[in-house]
């Protein structure tokens, strides 16, 4: 089990990110917060910029390979296809829920060089709209799960990036 990390109050985190001097500094601070919370060895942060997912920051000398970039895009497209609003009023039987759980893809991805990464979606609800903000790919050791991050901290990260204008996203109800 990963060591517990002392986390700031979500409002403090939001303020700290908003006080960063540039979008690049905010992206790096976001990645380092997520990396530190999860006890990851390194990672890459991708944010929505000009309507496309783009590399915004990387850590610990992790230069993204073409394969890693492809995985980020594939994961992003899959997550956008699973927009949560689609299932808000759907009725599911217990057997259907269990089947969906077993069919879900593992959050861990292995590159052709046997490096393992865990995928973490950054998204937030604003009013009735689900806003996908970005994606983090975190390097991990084989067989070692990363620590979870509380949803309030994810929301603080997403809100700071959105309110700073670093991310341009469309509401989930709009066409892709």
Give the tens place of pLDDT for each residue, 59-118.
977 788 899 999 999 999 988 887 665 444 445 555 544 444 444 556 778 776 778 889
State the Cα–Cα distance between residues 155 and 17, nearest whole angstrom.
12
**How high is the mean pLDDT of the chain?**
82
pLDDT at 31: 96
pTM: 0.81
Q: First and final CA of the chain: distance in angstroms?
A: 39
Ramachandran assignment for 13, one of left (phi > 0), alpha (psi -120 to 50 degrees), beta (any other): alpha
Q: Which two tokens stand for residue 17?
A: 């990110």
CATH T-level fold of 10-83+90-163: Beta-Lactamase (3.30.450)
pLDDT band of residue 170 (cuts 50, 70, 90) is low
2 pLDDT tier (thresholds 50, 70, 90):
very low
Q: For 59-155, where are the E strands, in sequence order?
A: 108-110, 116-126, 129-140
The per-residue pLDDT for 105 is 54
Please name the residues in contact with 92: beta carbons below 8 A apart, sequence gap of 6 or more.
100
The more confidently predicted of residues 103 and 24 is 24
Between residues 125 and 81, the one the model is more confident about: 125
């Amino acid at each position: 089990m990963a060591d517990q990390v002392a986390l700031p109050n979500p409002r403090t985190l939001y303020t700290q990110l908003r006080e960063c001097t540039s979008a690049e500094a905010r992206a790096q601070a976001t990645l380092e917060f997520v990396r530190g919370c999860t006890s990851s060895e390194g990672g890459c942060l991708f944010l929505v910029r000009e309507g496309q997912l783009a590399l915004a920051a990387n850590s610990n000398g992790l230069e993204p390979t073409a394969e890693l970039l492809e995985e980020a895009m594939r994961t992003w497209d899959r997550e956008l296809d699973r927009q949560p609003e689609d299932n808000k009023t759907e009725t599911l039987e217990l057997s259907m829920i269990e089947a969906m759980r077993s069919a879900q893809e593992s959050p861990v991805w292995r590159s052709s060089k046997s490096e393992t990464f865990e995928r973490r979606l950054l998204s937030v609800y604003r009013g009735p709209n689900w806003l996908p903000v970005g994606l983090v790919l975190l390097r991990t050791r084989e067989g070692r799960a990363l620590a979870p991050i509380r949803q309030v901290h994810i929301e603080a990260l997403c809100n700071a990036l959105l309110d700073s204008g670093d991310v341009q996203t469309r509401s989930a109800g709009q066409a892709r």
